[in-house]
């Protein structure tokens, strides 16, 4: 085999020199290949980084590494709730103590957090309701015999506030009538509001406050359209274990739910987005956009919309103002705006019509001067919240829970996904989900004893119910005995019935009883799949219907995001390379046809076919490797640079995907190998057809006279 390498070297020489000789073709083909390699490196690096960042977000907020739920469930678990408010239809795991015991028996499991996820409506009550409730309270105290002057002045202030509200509402309704259509306002409402706004109504008020209050509650309160029903997603859990296990969780305001106490923690995101006074929220948003993203009101249509909404929707503020506050606001706003306008509504509207020049000043003024006189949040920390949820069997269950505070996950404060769920204790969750808690069981037992109901077993139910001896009431044992009518009435009202529910419970209840799912945290996070298998195996041998899924599956659509993006990326890369393949193939076929004489000559003077094949494939591979490497290098440099500089999260959603305000992508060797591998493959594949053509070139071609 003398000269084997020399032969190879001549092949290489001819190949490389041919590439140089036809440099435009080489540049075009190489450019495509380089771009493809660049894209693969950048794309896969970014996706891997987002994947890692998002896994931190998801694992660190609610999901944990693995979620466990009953394999009998009809639906898949989605702890992030996807994009809907519906909770999953999960079959409960009835004995958490055993579930935990089985899970902890798997060696790689570091901890288990019991959970249940559901959503509920919360009636926060509108401003009118709240004012009327306060007034009624004061009236009741007076009627109970309290003659103190504080009470009397509080009563007057609250009464005048209500009167103020009525006049605001009247103005509002008349505006609607003016702007829209007579028919859009019911005459009955108009009359009611006219009646309530009339001086005579208020002249009689002190004499018969209860009658007048009833009129206001029934006829006027429903007209205030700021009646607010919040939809809240919450996770019921063992608050202490949750906080310990998800160490990114931090209390923002208030305090954690104390051990053994029923309670509720708002997600800070939800608290800000939904509970905060809308005007204040809008100001915050504008402030944030200007401060962090350096947007300008005059350039940003979104900010202009926020300004417009603030300026036109001042009713929310006006309803909160009683007479002294109205006067205070008038005085402060006149001073701030250097005007003589007396109407506080118009003053507020003018004040909130902010521009880039005066925004910072007015933002500060709002929080310094006006906010102290306003309820910034419809639900305050320390309030008791009435949560009404549909149980799994469809009826409405309610619970009164004290709001202990708000919480957020560090680095994900602005993320709607991480902030989607609020939190309550597991015991209250069970109650709202329709599981029998110890308290409920006791309550039912008491009711049964009181009403004389007796236990009806399934076997003799028919005889008991339809037999000769009729029983006064029946209880199917599944649902707690509740009066559906009362439940529905409760749903319609707001803070109507606040029964004194026990606020404490035995902490041991958290360690046993029913849960819907459980988050599992691992010692070694890389052993995800083996641990999932181990958990399911342990469940099977213990006779528990345990289904374990990765955090990625557990977070549903959101968890699948990177998978989806990967599909998109690879589709794009595939399309690029298919196009590249066609272009390269065409270029090489053209080149081959141009070189028929040269190839024929080589064949004539004694080059075997495989020499020609090697020459052409080598040309393609050389182009692929050189330009592919250049593209991959360029991509790597960009990734490294981005890794230093960080990619800023453009909006709140990206905060979640980036697990913080900036993504610092890193380069992985496998991405480079992947890029080079793909490029190599494309180069080889694209040269196959032209190489076959070239191989078939007859040495006779050399003998043809030149055209």
Partner 1 sequence: MDQIVSIDAATKDYRLGKVVVRALRGVSLAVTKGEFLSIAGPSGSGKTTLLNLIGCVDTATTGTVKVAGRDTAKLSERELTRLRLDTIGFIFQSFNLVNVLDVFHNVELPLLLQRRLSASERNQRVLDLLERVGLAEHIRHRPNELSGGQRQRVAIARALVTRPMLVLADEPTANLDSVTGQNILDLMKELNRTEQTTFIFSTHDARVMAHASSLVRLADGKLSENGAGPNAAELSEHHSAPGSAVLT
Q: Which residues bind partner 1 (CB under 8 A)?
A: 1-4, 6-7, 10, 13-14, 17-18, 20-21, 597-598, 600-609, 611, 698-700, 702-703, 705-706
665 Rama sector, left if φ>0, alpha if ψ -120 to 50, beta otherwise:
beta
Minimum distance from CB of 39 to partner 1 (Å)?
A: 32
Q: Give the pairing type, strands 517-522 and 229-237.
A: unpaired
Rank residues 11 and 423 by Cβ distance to partner 1 and give the closer one: 11
Nearest distance, CB of residue 26 and partner 1, angstroms? 13
Q: Which is nearer to partner 1, 5 or 641 (CB)?
A: 5
Nearest-approach distance from CB 606 to partner 1, in angstroms? 3
Q: In whole angstroms, what is the distance from residue 678 CA to residue 684 CA? A: 10
Burial of 36 (0-12, 13-18, 19+ CB in 10 A): buried
Would you say 1 or 207 has its CB closer to partner 1?
1
Closest distance to partner 1 from the beta carbon of 661 (Å): 56
| Smaller CB separation from partner 1, 178 or 590 | 590
User: Which tokens sit at 429?
Assistant: 């969750």
Quick check: 121 and 231 in contact, CB under 8 A?
yes
Q: How many CB atoms lie within 10 A of CB 652?
A: 18
Give the 3-state secondary structure of residue 261. Answer: strand
Query: Measured from the CB atom, is 15 or 418 closer to partner 1?
Result: 15
Closest separation in Å from C-beta 588 to partner 1: 16
Instruction: Give the H/E segment covering residue 424.
Output: strand 421-425
Closer residue to partner 1 (CB): 483 or 706? 706
User: Least distance in Å: CB of 592 to partner 1?
Assistant: 15
- Residue 400: CB atoms within 10 A of its CB come to 18
Rounded Cα distance between 353 and 304, Å, is 9
Phi, psi of 8, deg, nearest 5: -60, -40
CA 398 distance to own-chain centroid: 25
- Residues contacting 598, CB < 8 A, separation 6+: none
Minimum CB distance to partner 1, residue 594 (Å): 11
Residue number with CB closer to partner 1 (469 or 605): 605
Please say which residue, 14 or 623, places its beta carbon nearer to partner 1. 14
Q: Tell me how long the chain is.
A: 707
Strands 66-70, 264-267: pairing kind: unpaired
Nearer to partner 1, 257 or 599 (CB): 599
Q: Minimum distance from CB of 607 to partner 1 (Å)?
A: 6
Rounded to whole angstroms, the Cα distance separating 139 from 145 reads 10
Q: Tell me the DSSP string of 113-181.
A: EEEEEEEEEEE---HHHHHHHHHHHHHHHHHTT---HHHHHHHHHHHHHHHHHHHHHHHHHHHHHHHS-
Pick 179 or 605: Cβ nearer partner 1: 605
Q: How far is the CB of 617 from partner 1 (least distance, A)?
A: 17
Rounded distance, CA 616 to CA 637, Å? 31
CA nearest 522: which of 68, 201, 219, 207?
A: 68
Minimum CB distance to partner 1, residue 691 (Å): 17
Tell the smallest beta-carbon distance from residue 573 to partner 1 (Å). Answer: 33
Query: Toward partner 1, which CB reaches closer, 348 or 599?
Result: 599
Helix 561-594 vs helix 609-645: crossing angle, to nearest 10: 140
CB 423 within 8 A of CB 234: yes
Task: Check: CB of residue 517 under 8 Å from CB of residue 77.
Answer: yes
């Amino acid at each position: 085999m003398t000269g084997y390498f020399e032969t190879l070297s001549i092949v290489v020489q001819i190949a490389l020199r041919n590439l140089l000789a036809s440099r435009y073709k080489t540049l075009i083909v190489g450019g495509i290949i380089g771009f493809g390699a660049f894209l693969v490196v950048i794309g896969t690096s970014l996706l891997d980084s987002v994947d890692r960042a998002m896994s931190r977000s998801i694992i660190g907020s609610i999901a944990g590494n693995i979620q466990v739920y009953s394999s009998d469930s009809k639906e898949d678990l989605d702890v992030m709730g996807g994009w809907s408010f519906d909770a999953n239809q999960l079959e409960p795991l009835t004995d958490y103590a055993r579930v935990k015991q089985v899970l902890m028996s798997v060696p790689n499991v570091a901890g288990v957090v019991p959970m249940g996820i559901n959503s509920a409506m919360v009636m926060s009550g509108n401003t009118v309701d709240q004012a009327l409730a306060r007034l009624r309270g004061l009236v009741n105290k007076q009627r109970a015999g309290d003659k103190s002057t504080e009470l009397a002045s509080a009563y007057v202030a609250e009464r005048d506030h209500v009167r103020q509200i009525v006049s605001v509402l009247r103005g509002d309704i008349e505006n609607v009538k003016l702007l829209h259509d007579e028919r859009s306002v019911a005459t009955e409402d108009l009359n009611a509001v006219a009646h309530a706004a009339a001086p005579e109504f208020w002249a009689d008020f002190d004499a018969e406050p209860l009658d007048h209050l009833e009129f206001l509650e029934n006829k006027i309160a429903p007209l205030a359209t700021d009646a607010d029903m919040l939809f809240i997603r919450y996770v019921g859990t063992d608050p202490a274990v949750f906080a310990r296990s998800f160490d990114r969780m931090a209390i923002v305001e208030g305090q954690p739910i104390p051990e053994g106490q029923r309670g509720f923690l708002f997600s800070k995101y939800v608290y800000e987005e939904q509970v905060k006074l809308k005007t204040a929220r809008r100001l915050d948003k504008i402030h944030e956009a200007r401060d962090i993203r350096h947007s300008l009101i005059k350039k940003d249509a979104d900010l202009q919309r926020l300004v417009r909404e603030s300026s036109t929707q001042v009713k929310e503020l006006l309803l909160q103002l009683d007479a002294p506050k109205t006067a205070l606001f008038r005085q402060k706003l006149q001073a701030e705006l250097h005007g003589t306008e007396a109407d506080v509504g118009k003053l507020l509207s003018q004040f909130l019509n902010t521009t880039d020049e005066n925004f910072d000043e007015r933002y500060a003024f709002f929080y310094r001067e006006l906010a102290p006189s306003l309820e910034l949040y419809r639900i305050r920390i320390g309030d008791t919240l009435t949560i009404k949820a549909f149980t799994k069997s469809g009826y409405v269950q309610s619970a009164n829970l004290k709001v202990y505070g708000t919480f957020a996950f560090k680095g994900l404060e602005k993320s709607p996904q991480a902030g989607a769920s609020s939190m309550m204790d597991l015991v209250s969750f069970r109650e709202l989900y329709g599981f029998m808690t110890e308290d409920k069981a006791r309550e039912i037992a008491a009711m049964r004893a009181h009403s004389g109901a007796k236990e009806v077993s399934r076997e003799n139910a028919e005889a008991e119910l339809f037999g000769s001896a009729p029983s006064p009431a029946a209880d199917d044992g599944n649902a707690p005995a509740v009066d559906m009518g009362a439940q529905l009435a409760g749903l319609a009202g707001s803070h109507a019935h606040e029964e004194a529910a026990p606020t404490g419970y035995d902490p041991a209840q958290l360690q046993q009883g029913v849960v819907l799912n459980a988050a599992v945290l691992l010692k070694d996070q890389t052993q995800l799949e083996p641990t999932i298998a181990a958990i399911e195996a342990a469940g099977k041998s213990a006779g528990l219907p345990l289904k374990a899924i990765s955090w990625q599956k557990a977070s549903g659509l959101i968890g699948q995001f990177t998978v989806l993006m990967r599909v998109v990326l690879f589709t794009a890369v595939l399309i690029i390379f298919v196009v590249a393949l066609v272009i390269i193939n065409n270029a090489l076929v053209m080149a081959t046809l141009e070189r028929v004489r040269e190839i024929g000559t080589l064949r004539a003077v004694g080059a075997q076919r495989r020499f020609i094949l090697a020459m052409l494939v080598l040309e393609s591979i050389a182009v692929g490797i050189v330009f592919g490497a250049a593209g991959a290098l360029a991509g790597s440099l960009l990734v490294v640079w981005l890794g230093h500089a960080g990619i800023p999260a453009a909006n709140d959603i990206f905060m979640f995907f980036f697990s913080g305000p900036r993504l610092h992508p890193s380069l992985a060797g496998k991405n480079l190998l992947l890029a080079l591998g793909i490029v190599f493959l494309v180069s080889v594949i694209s040269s196959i057809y032209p190489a076959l053509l070239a191989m078939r070139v007859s040495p006779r071609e050399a003998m043809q006279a030149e055209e």
